[in-house]
A and B are shown apart, each in its own frame.
Chain A
């Protein structure tokens, strides 16, 4: 073996481009290295050795599953907060004592409260207090709950602190109690099979799809507007350049100025998607910062933490808010996932090939579940059967 041979092998394994090819081969990298080899046939052996060596070094790694990553984080959070409990309790007590005993330092108290609202809100812990049931639930800032047994509910927050609630043709107005906290957070939890709309205090309208929740302030004060969404929501954000609007979800944060868009961030889905109808949004994830244009869809893979942006027929993604579902060569698998959330039914098929079959058409979600399946089965070579709360699909 000559010294130059020696050097060459070291070169390959120390070449980041080469390492990328071995660890994450893409068509592009394959082409590059195959072209390289046909130009440098004498280096085939070295390249092979380096590739093989690297492959050997990388196999047999212990890996954490995503569930383990989450479980470990929860444990860390728990240990951390149990350590903090004492401190928080002391802070609360001193604040209360301040109000009761020394009115003279209210200026100091106010500044204390203001700094409190600047801190980051732990939406996850707010959300974890409320388990979705069978009915739509509204949780007010004093933790009292309103339960709605209707299929949908329309909420409207007025700037004067009143809340209008509309179910069917009934409208109720009530004064929201003012509390010492400058930011009162409300939470709306929409179970599977139901939907809701909220008009926020700034005029922004939010449609919440089945199996979703939103956490939002009763009034926006401060430099920014921020709400939290889990599941799917469609937003028409009221324009206010001086107060940017943020939508926060697990693993993704979206900044908007005045715009219409859809976010789908279901816990159980492997990816989060954002579809932009109008305006401009900026999406921020752990690793990326992306600006979207209208008629685009952003897909964020939770596992790899990578996003892709593609052109999209936006109507397919946002028509649910008007009670339609548009499918354009959409896989049965994806259609049934959405329908099963929308109607809260279990949908199964005995033939795995079925799940990859694609459908094109328009489904009327205002009709009941069985009617929707009648329509599907009239166009596709499928049969459906209802057994209890479950729908079985089979090939005709």
Chain B
């Protein structure tokens, strides 16, 4: 359909959407649904439930569109909405009380059976990394995820996680530090060449 939007024109896109432009609505969906789904699946392994929540936030958007305020960052808006929607749905009692943000789970396991792993030694290293990941707090995991997988800035991730800027940075840096402890002392070198890895022992 008529997709007359440049990549970084969130303000315009959002304004068109608020004014009732259905194309704008579809562009927003297409641009963000994949990363929203990935993010949502870290709160619950139930993929169908994550889809339902995404469905609900887009229906809410359509329903309240004329009353929505301006935004220049649609991704941030959607990430916040989805997180709120999933958490509320996982813990019905939270609707009435405040949620203890520290208690919200964030599943982040590093698969070691992935086809993408090229060698056995690489598999071993990922197993170590997975063990280190398990020692992180849910919020450290979420911060690292939002920074490196969702590609949010510290400013954005502090807003999604409702923290101040410095606390958000700290979560990422301390989390990374713990992950690095899993690295082996002896050195393996990997290089990427045309998408495949080859290995040198040294």
**Does B18 count as interface, using CB distance less than 8 angstroms?**
no
Query: Which residue of A34, A60, A62, A284 is within 8 Å of B191 (Cβ)?
Result: A34
Binary contact track B164-202/A, C-beta < 8 Å → 1, others 0: 000000000100100110010001111111110000000
Residues B110 and A63 in contact, CB atoms below 8 Å apart: no
**Does B145 count as interface, using CB distance less than 8 angstroms?**
yes
Q: For window 31-79 of chain A, which residues contact chain B by CB distance below 8 Å? A: 33-34, 37, 44-45, 48-49, 51-54, 56-64, 68-69, 72-73, 75-76, 79
Tell me how many residue pairs across A and B have CB atoms closer than 8 Å.
134
B contacts with A, residue count (CB < 8 A): 59
**Does A324 count as interface, using CB distance less than 8 angstroms?**
no
Contacts of B130 in A (CB 8 A): 56
Contacts of A9 in B (CB 8 A): 180
Contacts of A56 in B (CB 8 A): 110, 126, 129-130, 179
Residues A10 and B173 in contact, CB atoms below 8 Å apart: yes
| Distance of A257 from chain B, by nearest CB (Å) | 17
Cα A61 to Cα B148 with chains together (Å):
13
Interface locus among A119-127, A128-136, A172-180 = A119-127
| Distance of B133 from chain A, by nearest CB (Å) | 8
Binary contact track B90-122/A, C-beta < 8 Å → 1, others 0: 000000000000000000011100101100000
Contacts of A21 in B (CB 8 A): 192
Residues A286 and B29 in contact, CB atoms below 8 Å apart: no
Contacts of B6 in A (CB 8 A): 289
Q: For window 145-173 of chain B, which residues contact chain A by CB distance below 8 Å? A: 145, 148-149, 151, 173
A and B contact pairs by CB, cutoff 8 A, 9 listed: A13-B148, A33-B192, A60-B114, A69-B30, A79-B55, A123-B1, A253-B2, A286-B27, A288-B7
Chain B positions near chain A (C-beta within 8 angstroms): 1-7, 20-23, 26-27, 29-31, 33-34, 37-38, 41, 47, 50-51, 54-55, 58-59, 62-63, 109-111, 114, 116-117, 125-126, 129-130, 144-145, 148-149, 151, 173, 176, 179-180, 183, 187-195
Top 5 A-B pairs, shortest CB-CB distance: A60-B111, A62-B41, A56-B129, A25-B192, A253-B2
Chain A positions near chain B (C-beta within 8 angstroms): 9-10, 13, 19, 21-22, 25, 27, 30, 33-34, 37, 44-45, 48-49, 51-54, 56-64, 68-69, 72-73, 75-76, 79-80, 83, 119-120, 122-124, 246, 248, 250-253, 284-289, 305
